[in-house]
Amino acid sequence: MDWTGVFPAELPDAIRGMETQGSTRLNSRKRRKEGVGPNGATETDGIPLKVPRNCLGLREPAPFSDELEVDYSKPYIRVTYEEALRGTPLDRPVRVYADGIFDLFHSGHARALMQAKSLFPNTYLIVGVCSDELTHNFKGFTVMNENERYDAVQHCRYVDEVVRNAPWTLSPEFLAEHRIDFVAHDDIPYSSAGSDDVYRHIKEAGMFAPTQRTEGISTSDIITRIVRDYDVYARRNLQRGYTAKELNVSFINEKKYHLQERVDKVKKRVKDVEEKSKEFVQKVEEKSIDLIQKWEEKSREFIGNFLEMFGPEGALKHMLKEGKGRMLQAISPKQSPSSSPTHERSPSPSFRWPFTARTPPSSPASLSRNKSTITYDISEDEED
């Protein structure tokens, strides 16, 4: 297919670069500033090449091998490992085969297929999936049936072709039929079907390409988690509407799970109430602390104002002193000046005793003091 005019001119180089999917191609770039950079980097740092925005994307699942037309008229010559590493033409990719059970397809499976796809610059990955019959006979019961496992592998982005009902042991006829150059699998000996390593003859033929297992994840680990937490998952599915018969749960266990579910709900409510009460108490404590602080401020202000008014040197004492001085000044008589002339007191009018014509007896002093007056009165009577 001619890509001219559809994508930019640099896209073929990008396509050739994309053939090494998952490979760690790094571009060294010198830092602008010398010395230690971010994250402890010093002089140079490896920066991965960016994928162009208009890159190709998968829109359909990988096809099955029995649905493809193969031209067997052309002879197929295997490539050597060195030729595969150097890179092959676009019309002659290196055909790599990887097989497995792929039950409960997880990231460990995807990473293994990614490594198989990234073994060579130009790789066409064929994945074989064993049927339920072979798997149950040689390995054990599976969680997913063969159709589900086929479908899971089909939708992995690194897979170009899927072989259904793949053989347990690879024969020369099978390798020739699918024109396989290399077989990818982890290097740990896989003992099964009465053999210490089912890939021994592949390794001896120089067709084995090792990959690395992803630690911490496997189908057995996932099943172990489910078995370990069986009660939790059984209760969850009962709550979601599954019947006890579908879950293969007895009547007694069903009632026990329902009771546990109710107890957990009550515990959750109690926990929620406790959390809300803690929040309420915390808010009350914060409010009380604020109130206490405000009360202390107001009390200090009140005490200061009280002392300022009623203290030993308060304003009230000064007010009383000033008022007392004004009162004393108001009630005290004014002293006459010493240079003012003296006036004799006028005699008081005479007082007569009632019912008598005579005046009361007087003291000698009064008699002598009023003698002249009496004489004057008598002389006036004589004139009359």
**pLDDT tens digit sequence for 101-149:** 999 999 999 999 999 999 999 999 999 999 999 999 998 999 999 999 9
Give residue 100's pLDDT. 94
Which of 131-145, 269-283, 350-364, 366-380 has the highest average model confidence (pLDDT)? 131-145
Give residue 231's pLDDT. 87
Task: Kindly list the distances between the CA atom of residue 367 and the CA atoms of 288, 349, 359, 360, 376, in Å, as whole numbers in the listed order.
Answer: 95, 15, 12, 11, 14
State yes or no: pLDDT of 38 exceeds 70: no
Model confidence band, residue 340 (pLDDT cutoffs 50, 70, 90): low
Q: For the chain, what percent of residues have pLDDT higher than 90? A: 36
Model confidence band, residue 336 (pLDDT cutoffs 50, 70, 90): low
- Contacts with 52 (C-beta within 8 Å, 6 or more apart), sequence order: 10, 11, 14
Give residue 192's pLDDT. 78
Mind listing the pLDDT tens digit for each residue in 361-376?
555 555 454 544 444 4
Q: For the full predicted model, state whether its pTM sits above 0.75.
A: no
Mind listing the pLDDT tens digit for each residue in 293-330?
888 888 888 887 777 777 777 676 777 777 777 777 77
User: Listing from the earlier edge strand, what are the strands of the sheet with 123-129?
Assistant: 161-164, 123-129, 94-100, 182-186, 208-211
Tokens of 4: 């001219």
Q: For the chain, what percent of residues have pLDDT higher than 70? A: 70
**Residue 354, helix vs strand vs coil:** coil
In single-letter form, the type of residue at position 34 comes to: E
The residue count for the chain: 384
Sign of CA dihedral 130, 201, 158, 215: positive
Query: Quick one: angle between helices 251-310 and 230-239, nearest 10?
Result: 90
In single-letter form, the type of residue at position 273 comes to: V
Query: What's 88-128 look like in SS3?
Result: CCCCCCEEEEEEECCCCCCHHHHHHHHHHHCCCCCEEEEEE
State yes or no: pLDDT of 45 exceeds 90: no
Name which residue leads in pLDDT, 72 or 90: 90
Q: Are strands 161-164 and 123-129 parallel, antiparallel or unpaired?
A: parallel
Q: What DSSP character marks residue 31?
A: -
Q: Are strands 182-186 and 208-211 parallel, antiparallel or unpaired?
A: parallel
| Gap between the Cα atoms of 284 and 52, Å rounded | 59
Q: Are 206 and 228 in contact (CB under 8 A)?
A: no
Give burial (CB, 10 Å; 0-12/13-18/19+) of 166: buried
Give residue 28's pLDDT. 37
The average confidence (pLDDT) of the chain is 77
State yes or no: pLDDT of 358 exceeds 60: no
Give burial (CB, 10 Å; 0-12/13-18/19+) of 61: middle
Give residue 21's pLDDT. 40
